[in-house]
Amino acid sequence: MNFKKAKVPKKTNINLRFNILTVIVYSIGIILIVQLFNLQIVHGEEYREQSNTRLTRESTLEASRGAILDKTGAELVVSKMEFSLELYKSKVDTDTLNQSILNIIEVLDKYNCSYTDIFPISIQPFEFKISGEALALWKKENKFDENISPEEAFYKFKNKYKIQNENIEEIKKIICLRYLISQKGYSSTRAITISESIPREAVAEFSESSEKFAGINIVVKPERDYTSGTLASHILGYAGKINSEEYEKRKNYYSSNDIIGKTGIEYVFEEYLKGKNGTKQIDMAIDGTTTAEYVSQEAIAGSDVVLTIDANLQKVTEDALKANIEKIATGGFGKAYDAKAGACVVMNVNNGEILAMASYPDYNPADFIGGISNSAWNNYINNTAKPLVNKAIQNSYSPGSTYKMITAIAGLESGVINLNTRINDTGVYTKYKDYQPRCWVYTDYHTGHGYLNVSQAIEKSCNYFFYETSDRMGIDTLVKYSKYFGLGSKTGVELQGETAGILSSKESKEKLHNGEKWSAGDTLQSAIGQYDNEYSPVQMARYISILANGGNRINPTIIRTIRNSDGSEVSKEEIEKFVNNKLKIQEESVENTEINKNNLNAVLEGMRSVTSDSGGTAYVRFKDFNISVGGKTGSAEAPNNQVHAWFVGFAPFENPEIAIVVMVENGGHGNYTAEVVRDIMAEYFGMNTQNVEENMSAVPYVEIIR
């Protein structure tokens, strides 16, 4: 039997689909009704309670900025917690808002906290705080008659804000914040800051009675604290509010209100010091009362940077430098010089660690917290002594006679002189008709030093000896050994703005003197640390350290380690790579040179004689000093008829530990500055500084210079 598929009319298909759709819609409706009943009737009270706390706001937990410590762990820069009070818009009536504002201000007044007041009317007596065009514009903006009195305007604001209080002081307090809100604006997600730097007691009171203060929020923000005032200011640097240019480069990691390192260690190690912000969730009722707070992401504190400097030695160094400059300026050595600035570096001769670095005058990094005032900024930039410049690394100066040890080493190593060579100083170097320079002793006493070997030439600082030595070997040999001792190139110390100085050479003359060719006279001047030679005090400290440690090259550093918040330390390799990249440092290749120990010892013996033999140019400063010292004075001619004063030294002579370099701009004579080195060594070696001062003051001054 055959069966045929029955045909269903199209109309029947449509009806079937419609009926199915109707059933679906009906079912959804039933579900919605049941759910609505469940929400409003069964769980109505529960959900109504939850709805009052549904306003959730995210707040930033600012990470504490890492500390900067000295080598012993003493805190030089830390972050202290500051508290600010913010106000968010809340769904409360006008009376409640006004009373809440009054409650807030009463607490602030109780703890002597300032708050923002931009309302242009003062009371008792009533008067406008603005005048002229500003007052006319203000009246126009508020649609006031131009002849309205301060009192009339005040009460119009009272009525505008529907303030029920009759006490004029309370009215003023409420108007103050209501007006601030109207001018600055706020919302349930964007707060307005009312007061900053409020004490913990005020924070506690706001927190314990939050129901009295609708919409408030306490913000915890780390603020920079330079614990030792101006100490090591040029090393530490300062941090300040991020500017628009800095923000554009870093807006993925910074907010527009963040602080950022501007100079010094604060700048160089910003990426380590910053830390990582966290977030906090705040649940609030519609009336602005906080119902719950919880941390959704913990803040990670910045890393601590540990320096190589010793805070005690740093203070002694700064004090000694300042006292010496003031003594020179006031004629304490017989004649007054216009000395206003200088620098000093104390370095470990064996590893290049900088134990102290001073630049005078200094500045106070705290002046820059929250933005420096115009008056303070003008005082700094208009000061001709340039207190914001780190003269230990950013300025370069002619080294004068402190350079002569390099000329001696170059002459000995190249073989143009030896340990037995004696050169007769007749006072005037007459080899060239067109240039006949004089030894300083001829200028002062119209005589020469006579026959001297290399050690004696260093002791007496004999220009003639080094004229002849350099003439025999030529400038290229002198340049070679200058480079070996690190002169004419950056040291790579972990601070911004380091100068490379200038190494006097054929290349420097061509560059600086309009393509002029080198002459024999240029070599003579270069050999005594003049002509184009200019070096920073930190370069000179490295040079003296290499001399003292037996000729081993070292790289100066001011960073001992970096400690992360989890207790781990950053590797030396990572730090070096980071600094080189940040400061664009490229290590220069230097020809490997092994200096003969006998030659080196002869030069060092000359430096010992400078401080220990009666004919030495610094003998008067180190007579009866308890530590054996190798040293050299230098009085370098500078522009505008100035003479920069240098002293370089190391100790103990038998087993050197530290090298010290001091330079005073327009300091007159090198042996004046030796006092600074003596005082620093007395502190470093644990000597009684007071007794040293008494002994030195008893020594008569002898005019032996250079």
Using H for helix, E for strand and C for coil, what is the string for 192-205? EEEEEEECHHHHHH
For residue 27, count CB atoms less than 10 angstroms from its CB and return exposed for 0-12, middle for 13-18, buried for 19 or more. exposed
Q: How far apart are CA 128 and CA 142, in angstroms?
A: 14
Cα–Cα distance measured from residue 19 to residue 124, given in angstroms and rounded to the nearest whole number: 82
Identify which of 696, 360, 642 has the alpha carbon closest to the alpha carbon of residue 688. Answer: 696
Task: Give, to the nearest 10 degrees, the angle between helix 689-697 and helix 670-684.
Answer: 150
User: What is 24-88 written as a DSSP string?
Assistant: HHHHHHHHHHHHHHIIIIISHHHHHHHHTT-EEEEEEEPPPPPPEE-TT--EEEEEEEEEEEEE-
The residue type found at 162 is K
pLDDT given for residue 63 in this prediction: 85
Distances (CA, A) of 272 to 2, 316, 705: 90, 30, 48
pTM above 0.85, yes or no: no
Contact 465, 452 (CB under 8 A): yes
547: number of Cβ within 10 Å: 25
pLDDT of residue 324: 98
Q: Are 360 and 352 in contact (CB under 8 A)?
A: no
Alpha carbon of 598 to those of 48, 604, 605: distances in Å?
A: 94, 10, 10
First to last CA, the chain: 135
The single-letter code of the amino acid at 188 is S
* Element housing 481 (H / E): helix 475-484
Low-confidence ranges of the chain (pLDDT < 70): 1-55, 57, 282, 284-294, 688-706
Measuring CA to CA, which residue among 344, 337, 302, 336 is closest to residue 319? 344
Radius of gyration (C-alpha) of the chain in whole angstroms: 38
d(CA 597, CA 386): 42
Look at residue 116 in the predicted model and tell me its pLDDT: 87
Distances (CA, A) of 506 to 276, 368, 521, 528: 52, 44, 12, 16
Structure tokens at 262: 């501007």
Task: Provide the H-helix boundaries in 280-424.
Answer: 311-329, 374-381, 404-414
Identify the residue whose tokens are 């037996």. 550
pLDDT at residue number 281 = 75
* Cα(426)–Cα(423) distance, integer angstroms: 9
Grouping H, G, I as helix, E, B as strand and the rest as coil, residue 529 is coil
pLDDT for position 91: 84
Burial class from Cβ neighbours inside 10 Å (0-12, 13-18, 19+) for residue 284 reads: buried
Handedness of CA 86, 88, 94, 96 (dihedral sign): negative
Q: Contact at 8 Å (CB) between 587 and 492?
A: yes
For 296-313, give the secondary structure using H, E and C. Answer: EECCECCCEEEECCCHHH
Q: Give phi and psi for 62, each to the nearest 5.
A: -75, 130
Residue 361 burial (10 A CB sphere; 0-12, 13-18, 19+): buried
- Quote the pLDDT of residue 681: 97
Non-local (6+) Cβ contacts of 422 within 8 A are: 451, 452, 453
What pLDDT does 21 receive? Answer: 54
Query: May I ask the CATH architecture of the domain 311-362+390-553+590-697?
Result: 3-Layer(aba) Sandwich (3.40)
Do residues 476 and 414 make contact, with C-beta atoms less than 8 angstroms apart? no
Residue 622 to residue 598: CA distance in whole angstroms:
26
The residue extents of the domains of the chain are 311-362+390-553+590-697
